[in-house]
């Protein structure tokens, strides 16, 4: 009798599965069910048909769904009356209660996919599948992640480190100078853009050493461990510590991240202690959480392809931007105005197909490959194209011999290899573009970086559009919208500021602001702007209230509706004739000519020469006896290739070097 009852129970269960599998369960889940006993707890997705009823209160109060900062970011890409949609509303709580009553144990919730992940047995899954509120069920993909790959890469060639020229930049970058100079970040920092106003989410494994000195000034606004469901992100090893230091660390003389003044969100999404460490629902939940807070940029130095038996692994053939749920989520985030940056992976080159791992295959995701310090592709860096023929990776940054914070102490540093480390460098550089103009959409940022990268005219599937040039990308941004030129020069005891605007007439006025080293900007003038009757486009202002030293100027452009935006900062050097001095050139960057100004205290022999980045003298600009006074050299560099150069001046015991940038 007992045998008959057991047999009948198994038969009933099989019938339930037969019905549910036919209607609602995915083929992958069917395979898992057939390979499991009824005692096994299986990790699955349950997706619902709708969000329920009585949803009007959410639309009437969008701040109950996401933060004000998130809404402001979304306004860049969505119409004002479409800042939230049903996708953003929480999963219906009554639907969740119902499946919990049937034995389902909730792990994560997804608003975007309108579902929950969690654990259930075969029979519980069969009962859940019969609910009218349930749309379908699927497995939660569990991906493998092998950090030993990056450890093996320590044997890869790293190239030579550059020595930072003294007196050229406002920050001492220590050994991180090479990785930032390669993508032209120090020049952007010199302009005053350091990531301020931008929120970055680092999604990684453990951040085990946040007490490190490189994080002492970092503004971390939120942390959550999506593996253990608590706010302690210190579990899970040192990978997150290293990548976070690359994007936003700050310890002068040691390690500087591109976006050290940004706000940071930390999400632990991977469990390195498990045999199946990466589960897609953790990453998706973290992305939705960061969106609700108001993230601008996400940086993920992990990519996923293989996952554990009994599931069949995805392959390179699935890298089409539309197959993996984790890739679909990444593209959804971009549609909400989030810049999603992801490492391309470390699978190297294959002659017949791509070696990408998701979500780097997303058509809206910025996938990042790795180069050596000399700009050549690191041989471990993954390649494209995607299955549907798109070029990948998108862009490159240094990923061999990257200087990072380590976990052995609060003052320890070292080098690491992998696209895990090129990714945060590029994410931080992208945040600098948003600091310049927060209204840029993710695709506009991507296009600016592509247009100015080293292979912009001939992208390929080894290095995409090439190594980014952060300064060049920023120079393509017109900030504010109407401003097309802003320059300043010291003439006969005064500074002449000149600027011009385009044809846009939404230009009420310009407020001129000035500061000296280690002081804040103050208003020094006010110039009426353009209107529909004047068509004015040329402006100037004379500042004759000067102190010796480096002076910073910027414009606050004010629109007729009260909105405003700031221009880039420009620098004017004022040095009395009590010393020798070499001033910063203007304009800078330039094409094809620029003015180099210098002062001579006493009649003396001087030399001014132009050098390339490796120290070779390109041209002697002046050599001989020079009278006391302020002098100028008009440098025309039409025959030189684009790039960074250095100008050196020597006179008696005086020596100074400035950095100049030729952009064609």
DSSP symbols for 49-109: S---S--HHHHH-GGGTS-HHHHHHHTTTS-GGGSS-GGGSPPPHHHHHHHHHTT-EEEEE
- The percent of residues above 70 in pLDDT, for the chain, comes to 86
Average pLDDT of the chain is: 85
Task: Give 99's pLDDT tier (boundaries 50, 70, 90).
Answer: very high
Whether the predicted pLDDT of 506 surpasses 80 = no
Task: Give 2's pLDDT tier (boundaries 50, 70, 90).
Answer: very low
Task: Give residue 599's pLDDT.
Answer: 83
Task: Give residue 154's pLDDT.
Answer: 54
Whether the predicted pLDDT of 394 surpasses 70 = yes
- Rounded distance, CA 110 to CA 96, Å? 12
More confident residue, 547 or 438: 438
Task: Give residue 479's pLDDT.
Answer: 52
Tell me the CATH architecture of domain 168-475: 3-Layer(aba) Sandwich (3.40)
Q: Strand pairing partners for 203?
A: 267, 300
CATH of domain 578-664: 2.60.40.1930
Task: Give 533's pLDDT tier (boundaries 50, 70, 90).
Answer: low
Whether the predicted pLDDT of 62 surpasses 50 = yes
Strand order of the β-sheet with 263-268 is 219-225, 263-268, 199-204, 297-300, 339-343, 366-371, 395-398
CA angle 317, 320, 325 (to 5 degrees): 105
Contact 234, 205 (CB under 8 A): no
CATH of domain 2-51+90-140: 3.30.70.80
Write out the CATH class of domain 480-574.
mainly beta
Task: Give residue 108's pLDDT.
Answer: 96
Task: Give 148's pLDDT tier (boundaries 50, 70, 90).
Answer: low
Omega of the bond leading into 587 within 30 degrees of 0 (cis): yes
Question: Which residues lie below 8 Å from residue 228, measured CB to CB, with a gap of 6+?
Answer: 235, 268
Task: Give residue 146's pLDDT.
Answer: 53
Region 565-586: what's the mean pLDDT?
78
How does pLDDT run across 283-320, given as a tens digit for each residue? 999 999 999 999 999 998 765 444 444 544 556 566 66
Domain with CATH 2.60.40.1930 in the chain: 578-664
CA angle 603, 606, 607 (to 5 degrees): 160
Query: Phi-psi region for residue 654, left (φ > 0), alpha (ψ -120 to 50) or beta?
Result: beta
Domain with CATH 3.40.50.200 in the chain: 168-475
| Distance in Å from the first CA to the final CA of the chain | 88
Lowest mean pLDDT among 139-143, 286-290, 469-473: 139-143
Question: Which residues lie below 8 Å from residue 539, measured CB to CB, with a gap of 6+?
Answer: 498, 499, 500, 501, 510, 527
């Amino acid at each position: 009798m007992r045998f008959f009852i057991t047999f009948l129970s198994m038969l009933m269960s099989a019938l339930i599965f037969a019905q549910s599998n036919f209607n609602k369960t995915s083929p992958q889940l069917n395979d898992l069910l057939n390979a499991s006993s009824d005692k096994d707890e299986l990790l699955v997705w349950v997706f619902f048909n709708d969000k329920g009823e009585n949803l009007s209160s959410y639309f009437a109060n969008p701040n109950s769904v996401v933060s004000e900062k998130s809404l402001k970011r979304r306004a860049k890409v969505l119409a004002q009356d479409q800042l939230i949609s049903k996708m953003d509303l929480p999963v219906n709580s009554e639907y969740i209660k119902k499946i919990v009553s049937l034995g389902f144990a909730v792990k994560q919730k997804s608003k975007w996919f309108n579902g929950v992940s969690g654990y259930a047995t075969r029979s519980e899954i069969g009962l859940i599948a019969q609910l009218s509120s349930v749309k379908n069920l699927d497995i939660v993909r569990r991906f493998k992640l092998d950090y030993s790959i990056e450890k093996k890469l320590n044997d890869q060639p790293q190239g030579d480190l550059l020595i930072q020229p003294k007196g050229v930049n406002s920050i001492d970058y220590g050994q991180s100078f090479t990785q930032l100079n390669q993508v032209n970040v120090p020049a952007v920092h010199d302009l005053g853009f350091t990531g301020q106003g931008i929120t970055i989410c680092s999604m990684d494994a453990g951040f085990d050493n946040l007490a490190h000195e490189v994080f002492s000034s970092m503004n971390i606004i939120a942390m959550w461990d999506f593996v253990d469901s608590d706010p302690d992100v210190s579990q899970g090893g040192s990978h997150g510590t290293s990548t976070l230091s690359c994007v936003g660390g700050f310890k002068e003389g040691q390690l500087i991240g591109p976006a050290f003044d940004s706000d940071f969100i930390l999400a632990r999404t991977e469990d390195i202690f498990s045999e199946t460490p990466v589960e897609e629902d953790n990453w998706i939940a973290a992305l939705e959480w960061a969106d609700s807070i108001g993230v601008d940029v996400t940086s993920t130095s992990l990519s996923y392809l293989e996952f554990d038996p009994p599931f069949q692994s995805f392959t390179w053939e699935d890298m089409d931007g539309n197959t993996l749920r984790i890739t679909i989520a990444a593209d959804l985030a971009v549609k909400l105005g989030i810049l999603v940056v992801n490492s391309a992976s470390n699978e190297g080159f294959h002659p017949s197909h791509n070696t990408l791992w998701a979500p780097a295959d997303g058509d809206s995701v910025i996938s990042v490959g790795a180069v050596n310090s000399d700009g050549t592709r690191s041989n471990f860096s993954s390649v494209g194209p995607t299955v549907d023929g798109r070029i990948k990776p998108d862009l490159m940054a240094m990923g061999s011999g990257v200087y990072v914070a380590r976990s052995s102490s609060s003052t320890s540093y070292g080098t690491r290899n992998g696209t895990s480390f090129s990714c945060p460098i590029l994410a931080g550089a992208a945040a600098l573009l948003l600091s310049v103009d927060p209204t840029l959409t993710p695709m506009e940022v991507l296009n600016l970086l592509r247009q100015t990268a080293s292979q912009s005219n001939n992208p390929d599937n080894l290095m995409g559009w090439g190594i980014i040039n952060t300064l060049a990308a920023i120079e393509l941004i017109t900030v504010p919208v109407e401003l097309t030129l802003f320059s300043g020069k010291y003439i006969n005891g005064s500074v002449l500021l000149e600027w011009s605007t385009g044809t846009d007439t939404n230009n009420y006025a310009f407020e001129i602001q000035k500061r000296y080293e280690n002081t804040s900007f103050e208003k020094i003038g006010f110039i009426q702007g353009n209107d529909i009757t004047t068509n004015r486009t040329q402006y100037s202002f004379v500042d004759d209230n000067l102190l010796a030293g480096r002076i910073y100027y910027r414009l606050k452009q004010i629109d007729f509706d009260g909105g405003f935006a700031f221009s880039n900062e420009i620098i004017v050097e004022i040095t009395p004739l009590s010393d020798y001095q070499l001033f910063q050139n203007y304009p800078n960057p330039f094409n094809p000519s620029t003015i180099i100004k210098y002062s001579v205290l006493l009649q003396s022999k001087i030399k001014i020469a132009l050098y390339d980045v490796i120290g070779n003298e390109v041209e002697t600009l002046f050599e001989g006896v020079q009278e006391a006074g302020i002098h100028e050299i008009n440098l025309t560099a039409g025959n030189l290739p684009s790039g960074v150069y250095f100008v050196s001046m020597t006179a008696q015991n005086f020596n100074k070097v400035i950095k100049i940038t030729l952009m064609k």
